[in-house]
A = this chain, B = another copy of it.
Amino acid sequence: MPVPKGSTIDPARTRAAILEAATPMLYERGLDGIGVAELCTRLGVSKETLYRHFGTKDGLVQAMLEARSERVTRWLAEGVAAAGQDPADQLAAVFDALQQWYDDPVFRGCAMLNAAAQHHVEAVRAITARHLDRYLELLTGIAGRAGAADPHTLGRQLLMLVEGATVVAAYHEAAGAGEHARQAALALLSAATTRTDPRD
């Protein structure tokens, strides 16, 4: 029965609901690990509706990735904002938040990196690059506030730690990945903001 008796017709809400429900499925099974048919069945939505809102499966995937990137970045930025004024505390907050993520049973690595590895499509790579840009901006900001001599380099090195920790947590061993990365990040921050050691 189309348009169930009590439901309100609200295209925008339908679209948002599809996006929200499809995100964890595509994340868990992989972009090509679940077909449109099964996706729609589990979503409780007809193919026609999905295609009206997103055009193609790629359209859904890209909308999903954009939304996820923004959501995750906002989540990290909030963690940083809640950590107070000390840049070292802010940096530690980033990795504490990451460890929380790694401990989630549904954690399967960074969705954007996974997508870029799966879909050799330029649009997806662009979303991934923008995602890394967002992270880099956050980390460079911390580096700058900490007074690093070269905030851009330090930010990039911190980005490598973030992504490296995520990879290791996803494919090797999640336990302690965030903590170890945090220690390394704080060591780098300290080294980059300390004048050259006179003993050298």
Contact = CB atoms under 8 A, between A and B. Distances in A.
Q: Is the interface of A mostly helix, strand, loop or mixed?
A: helix
Contacts of A32: 32, 118
B120 A29 contact: yes
Given A113-B117, A161-B164, A164-B165, 7 more contacts: A30-B120, A113-B171, A160-B160, A160-B177, A161-B161, A184-B188, A188-B188
Contacts of A114: 117
A187 B180 contact: no
A65 interface: no
Interface residues of A, number: 42
21 contacts: A29-B120, A30-B117, A109-B117, A117-B117, A125-B171, A136-B172, A153-B180, A156-B177, A157-B180, A160-B160, A160-B161, A160-B168, A160-B181, A160-B184, A161-B164, A163-B164, A164-B164, A164-B165, A187-B191, A188-B188, A190-B191
A184 B153 CA distance: 10
A183 interface: yes
Interface of A: 29-30, 32-33, 109, 113-114, 116-118, 120, 125, 128-129, 132-133, 136, 153, 156-157, 159-165, 167-168, 171-172, 177, 180-181, 183-184, 187-188, 190-192, 197
Nearest to A115: B117
Nearest to A125: B171
